[in-house]
Structure 1
Amino acid sequence: MSEDPLLTSLLAAVAAAPGDVPLRLHLAERLADAGRVPEALQHTTAALAAEPGHPGAIALLQRLTTALTTGSAPTTATTADEPALPVADAPADPPADEPVEEPHEPAGFDWARAEEQVADIAEPVSAFDDGGGPGGSGDSDVEWAERPDVRLDDVGGMEHVKSRLELSFLGPMRNPEMAKAFGKRPGGGLLLYGPPGCGKTFLARAVAGELGARFSEIGIADVLDMWTGRSERNLAEIFRTARRNAPCVLFLDEVDALGQKRSNLAHSGSLRNTVNTLLSEMDSLSGRNDGVFVLAATNHPWDMDPALRRPGRFDRMLLVLPPDAPARAAILRHHLRDRPVTDLDLDRVVRATEHYSGADLAHLVDTATERALAESMRSGKVRSLTTKDLVAAAREVTPSTGPWFSTARNVALFGNTDGSYDELAAYLKKNRKA
């Protein structure tokens, strides 16, 4: 089938301007209309990562996840106040006194021949099946996950975060005998939350590297499936495989999309069952998950089902904020390492980029590079990057963390009834411009 010219143009436009959220959402809508739901889901989650809380992206995500779990085509978007389109009435049941015609087989139907015709139709399988059918019985465990070679020392700055990780998570894992003396099992769950683009995934990989454990990153597309019951089966198989690969760090990215509040899923029985399965698999009180370290990242922990925060599940939360000054300096040095640079006052650039995420800093360096490259092409001589270029780019590239902090401030002020967000509230009080 030939490619839709409009889709080709939209894909090229998004590749050229990945930060254009309205354009990316328009592409996702077109992909959904074309039946390319997984691709539409990828672009929608990318839009949400760039602009958390975007109402259009959230609405589209709900439509796409419903389409994946029910197997239906995504419906056309409607406004929040617009009533849903009526569904055609089902055929009425026959009156009680009217005889119902029983189905019958056609005369001379050849069942043996019919079974031969469908014998080669394979049952749809989970992405995590390892070749052994339901439950998996293959031997692909060795290929299932990687062993990261990064450590916490590779994370620039963020000393507070690394200290918290060491005390509440890594320390007991490194001292199993002492942890056992205190009744601490070798496993557990940790939830990393904060603005997008601040290094939560990198921290999770560094934790796996510190533990010398395998690392597997799981996204919503790895779990959700259009076939009834498949999403639950995929999730259960992920945890079974993780137990076979212990010690293992299982990293659930964007866990708020997978573990949504069940009170918000009244019309999606499949998604409710997926949340129930996640709760069951996360329950480590039985000791099933010994050696399985479950880490998760989310930008919106307040949208998660409260049951995921109970003891034995994600009972520890760690706030991952935008990089501090030492971390920003390390990130800038990393992105400038292969570029021509002269007369660089790194401290000045660091001061100009407060509240910037790691992704924002990478974008800033790219913007400054484009400026120097354009002048170099006009003059025919390579012109190095300078402090002036980077500071000018900082005025052009605004931090993307602003919308997240606006939402988080409301949660810290009005939704912190149990003290879960005390650390966030303290940061916002100290940094009122965030």
Structure 2
Amino acid sequence: MSNDPFLIEALRNAVKNDPENVSLRLHLTQVLLGADLAAEAIEHTTFVLARQPDHLDALKLAFESATAIGDSLKAASYRNLYEAIGLRRAQSMFDASGVAEAADPSPTKSDAETADVEDASEDEGPVRLEAVGTRGGELFDAERPTITLADVAGMELVKRRLNLAFLGPLRHPDISKAYRKSLRGGLLLYGPPGCGKTYIARALAGEIGAKFLAVGYTDVVDMYLGESERRMHELFENARRSRPCVVFIDEMDAFGRKRSLTRDHAGRTLVNQLLSELDNVQADNEGLFLMAASNHPWDIDEALRRPGRIDRAVLVLPPDASARAAIIRFRFEGRPTQGIDVEDLARRTEGFSGADLAHVCESAVEFAIEDSLTTGRTRPVAQSDVLRALKEVKPSTRPWFETAKNYALYANEGGAYDDLLEYLRSKRML
């Protein structure tokens, strides 16, 4: 696959001019994957899946993108959904053509299980595919994080904003009670991909001693009518039973896409269900904290951003110098290294996301392995390996800032993107 920067830029401009052209967007995704720009590629697959959750090509590319950036949980979710939809379509094709499977005189265990499902559902409508391991248990399991914000290196500005917007009222419930301030509501973490929004959310849950329940788009969205809404309801019911609990919804722009931009009925009903859960007068949401992450906050339905819902937002920027140094140290921990100047590398990598830094470090290790295989002697990873990797890996955050700049300048209603504008001015990007 070509990694010609001129071709990539031309495709980006073409997609910008025709954003609803799915074929063109997926072609750009393939080119980005071939150029090791998986963090940007997964944004385009998310865009397509928000409109067509059963698009097999988009699911396949989403799986490849998630695998490339090292998000194994998300990759597994995309793979499972891809296999389930593919199996269902294949079965429908056989049913329509009248093709029957050859009889097997010695049925296997899977045959018996299939027969049980068919017998049980004979009078209950179509059979639904069920993920292995969910029967008889919780579909969404809450965990108790062992990390806190102290484990998040650098990013002091983000921590300060989290303290002002979220942690302050929680740490002083007496003050909140005196002012009759409810602890309900939600917080949106937005910014370029690969900058640690999920890690920060998990650390925030650990900071307040709450359980943590994280879900992605493919964990909730299902191909069957009404199933996505049922899963969304089950998610919140499980969280209410686990209070205090932080519910973290990744890819909120896919879950809660503006209904004016959503053509299919399923997307609209999912947004309505999410609104219903946030406003549910029959359920007590006290002690339930919603955190969401998005790379495209401008695509989120305005109703979700109203007071009492996801009414606060914090910009999560690329790691600062101290955070970059910590990430580099962590990536080389336990590996043979010699003469690596971490502080120098941190200065050279301004604007890199955490995923970009991980890619740089892995590329440097691969160079050392390649040399070791050639010489037959193991040698440590050197500064020269990392500098070589830096020549090949460029920051993946730049396209995001180019897009975000337009929204910050022309759609900054109520000062929603003031923090972003301040950052863009400080970096002379305006």
TM superposition score normalised by structure 1: 0.71
Q: Secondary structure at the match of 1:317?
A: strand
Q: Which amino acid aligns with 1:118?
A: E
Structure 1 residue 117, shift from structure 2 partner: 9.2
Structure 1 residues 249 and 321, CA, compared in 2 at 3 Å: closer, same or farther? Answer: same
CA distance in 2, matches of 1:129, 1:173: 36
Structure 1 residue 175, shift from structure 2 partner: 2.3
Larger helix proportion, structure 1 or 2? 2
Structure 1 residues 353 and 433, CA, compared in 2 at 3 Å: closer, same or farther? Answer: farther
1:259 is matched with 256
Structure 1 residues 45 and 184, CA, compared in 2 at 3 Å: closer, same or farther? Answer: farther
Structure 1 residues 38 and 296, CA, compared in 2 at 3 Å: closer, same or farther? Answer: same
Do structure 1's residue 402 and structure 2's residue 408 form an aligned pair? Answer: no
Q: Secondary structure at the match of 1:263?
A: coil
Question: Does the CA contact (< 8 Å) of 1:198 and 1:321 recur in 2?
Answer: yes
Question: Does the CA contact (< 8 Å) of 1:19 and 1:50 recur in 2?
Answer: no
**1:159-238 → structure 2 map (5 Å cutoff):** 159-238=156-235
CA distance in 1, matches of 2:254, 2:122: 37
Structure 1 residues 364 and 20, CA, compared in 2 at 3 Å: closer, same or farther? Answer: closer
2:349 is matched with 353
Structure 1 residue 288, shift from structure 2 partner: 2.3
Q: Which of 318, 321, 336 lines up with 1:325 in the alignment?
A: 321
Question: Does the CA contact (< 8 Å) of 1:50 and 1:196 recur in 2?
Answer: no
CA distance in 2, matches of 1:399, 1:261: 29
Structure 1 residue 280, shift from structure 2 partner: 1.7
**1:40-189 → structure 2 map (5 Å cutoff):** 40=57, 42-45=59-62, 118=122, 124=128, 140=138, 144-189=141-186
Do structure 1's residue 340 and structure 2's residue 336 form an aligned pair? Answer: yes
Structure 1 residue 125, shift from structure 2 partner: 7.9
Question: Does the CA contact (< 8 Å) of 1:128 and 1:234 recur in 2?
Answer: no
Structure 1 residue 229, shift from structure 2 partner: 1.6
Structure 1 residues 42 and 149, CA, compared in 2 at 3 Å: closer, same or farther? Answer: farther
Q: Which of 298, 301, 304 lines up with 1:308 in the alignment?
A: 304
CA distance in 1, matches of 2:121, 2:147: 53
2:236 is matched with 239
Deviations 1:262-287 (A, max 9, x none): 0012x311211111111121237887
Question: Does the CA contact (< 8 Å) of 1:127 and 1:222 recur in 2?
Answer: no
CA distance in 2, matches of 1:124, 1:154: 42
Q: Which of 272, 279, 283 lines up with 2:279 in the alignment?
A: 283
Deviations 1:69-122 (A, max 9, x none): xx989xxxxxxxxxxxxxxxxxxxxxxxxxxxxxxxxxxxxxxxxx99925878
Q: Which amino acid aligns with 1:432?
A: R
1:19 is matched with 36
Structure 1 residue 178, shift from structure 2 partner: 2.2
Q: Which amino acid aligns with 1:204?
A: A
Deviations 1:344-391 (A, max 9, x none): 222211111010000000000011111111112222222222222212
Unpaired runs of 5+ residues, structure 1, are: 1-12, 52-60, 74-114, 132-137
2:24 is matched with none
Q: Percent identity?
A: 47
CA distance in 1, matches of 2:131, 2:259: 25
Q: Secondary structure at the match of 2:187?
A: strand
1:375 is matched with 371
CA distance in 2, matches of 1:226, 1:128: 17
Question: Does the CA contact (< 8 Å) of 1:190 and 1:318 recur in 2?
Answer: yes
Do structure 1's residue 298 and structure 2's residue 315 form an aligned pair? Answer: no
CA distance in 2, matches of 1:117, 1:427: 57
Q: Which amino acid aligns with 2:392?
A: E
CA distance in 1, matches of 2:274, 2:124: 34
CA distance in 1, matches of 2:332, 2:301: 41
Question: Does the CA contact (< 8 Å) of 1:284 and 1:312 recur in 2?
Answer: no
Structure 1 residue 17, shift from structure 2 partner: 6.5
Structure 1 residues 324 and 286, CA, compared in 2 at 3 Å: closer, same or farther? Answer: farther
Structure 1 residues 117 and 210, CA, compared in 2 at 3 Å: closer, same or farther? Answer: closer
Q: Which amino acid aligns with 1:251?
A: F
Structure 1 residues 17 and 373, CA, compared in 2 at 3 Å: closer, same or farther? Answer: farther
Q: Secondary structure at the match of 2:223?
A: coil
Q: Secondary structure at the match of 1:262?
A: coil
Q: Secondary structure at the match of 2:246?
A: strand
Question: Does the CA contact (< 8 Å) of 1:352 and 1:391 recur in 2?
Answer: no
Superposition RMSD in Å: 3.7
CA distance in 2, matches of 1:418, 1:118: 55
